[in-house]
Structure 1
């Protein structure tokens, strides 16, 4: 499953956000079921960031969110409130 958490980050907070997002991704990477992940920034809208991770299943992702909640908490005000979990319908590679 794919997890996409999007954030709207003012330019003045970009460096701080980037460091915190890396910490969250490192924490995710230490959890069971983690496949891969990345922190990304929009090339068209530099205030739009995404924390993208891939998991062996939704249960792994939900447990990882629970384990990372203290690290995620400081970024909650920047988070775009939308569903973050996607199941694979079709893929290649």
Structure 2
């Protein structure tokens, strides 16, 4: 499972935000089911940042969000994310896709 969080951060806050985002990634990385993660900044629009993480499955990601350390360190940063869907399933050739259905009630 792939999670893509995007953030719009004023340039004046960039260094502090990067430190917070790296700490958030560290807290997530300590949780069971975490596979990998990257922090990035857009090359054309330096106010646009991303945190991309890969998880064994959606359950591992959701359990990670409920852990104390993640609530303390990562959730405040993730709360700054642009409001858009962030969880993606693998769609490589040969993978079975989930049923196309809304999973929340808005």
Pairwise same-fold verdict (TM > 0.5) = yes
Q: In the aligned structure 2, how far is the partner of 1:66 from the partner of 1:26?
A: 15
The structure with the largest alpha-carbon Rg is 2
| Paired residues for 1:63-74 under 5 Å | 63-67=63-67, 68-71=70-73, 72-74=75-77
Matched, 1:37 2:40: no
CA contact (8 A) 1:39 1:51 kept: yes
Report the secondary structure of 2:91's partner residue. Answer: coil
- RMSD, aligned α-carbons: 1.3
Q: 1:58 to 1:34 in 2, by over 3 A?
A: same
- Runs of 4+ in structure 1 deviating by more than 3 angstroms, as ranges, are none
> How many residues are matched?
90
| TM-score (normalised: structure 1) | 0.89
Q: Which has the higher contact order (CA 8 A, sep 6+)?
A: 1
- Unaligned stretches of 5+ residues in structure 1: none
| TM-score (normalised: structure 2) | 0.79
Q: 1:74 to 1:30 in 2, by over 3 A?
A: closer
Q: In the aligned structure 2, how far is the partner of 1:11 from the partner of 1:19?
A: 14
Q: In the aligned structure 1, how far is the partner of 2:33 from the partner of 2:78?
A: 23
Q: 1:75 to 1:61 in 2, by over 3 A?
A: closer
